[in-house]
Amino acid sequence: MKEDELELTNDSFLVSETDEEGIIRFANEQFCKYSEFPLNELIGKPHSIVRHKDIPASVFEDLWKTIQAGNIWRGFVKNSTKKGKYYWVYATIYPYTSCDGSKGYISCRKKASKEEIEKYANIYKNMLK
């Protein structure tokens, strides 16, 4: 593990919800803990607040294309923390329409293994070349 990497515990479960534009409207306590942002600094902000430059733009293009088409997106993401550290997650993003007709997206994240992190760090590095 690198010095400024935060390692998720095995039972970590980081959740956030956005509106249709990707503006955060909910984050659970574990998302706040790992991102090092208090909840009031996340609500109302674009989800790119935790974006890490090592993830190619095409990954997010694929993410948005998938969820806007009403499908579930799954993938490995490296996120930045408020203090300039980072953490890897395996994310699953669900599009939803609630009973009042409003739409949004929910992301549920769990720990990625060391092997998965190494694999995707290399894939993304090559994509950025």
Ligand X SMILES: Cc1cc2nc3c(=O)[nH]c(=O)nc-3n(C[C@H](O)[C@H](O)[C@H](O)COP(=O)(O)O)c2cc1C
The site for ligand X (CB under 6 A) is made up of 16, 18, 22, 47-48, 50-51, 60, 63, 77, 79, 93, 105, 107
The distance of closest approach from Cβ of residue 18 to ligand X in the complex, given in angstroms and rounded to an integer, is 4
The distance of closest approach from Cβ of residue 119 to ligand X in the complex, given in angstroms and rounded to an integer, is 19
Q: Which is nearer to ligand X, 72 or 114 (CB)?
A: 72
The distance of closest approach from Cβ of residue 100 to ligand X in the complex, given in angstroms and rounded to an integer, is 19
3-state secondary structure 15-64: EEEECCCCEEEEECHHHHHHHCCCHHHCCCCEHHHHECCCCCHHHHHHHH
The distance of closest approach from Cβ of residue 50 to ligand X in the complex, given in angstroms and rounded to an integer, is 5
Q: Which of 9, 5, 25 is nearest to 107 (CA)?
A: 25
Q: Which is nearer to ligand X, 18 or 81 (CB)?
A: 18
Q: Which is nearer to ligand X, 93 or 117 (CB)?
A: 93
Distance CA 77, CA 14 (A): 12
Cα radius of gyration (the chain): 14
The vertex-8 CA angle with 6 and 10, nearest 5°, equals 155
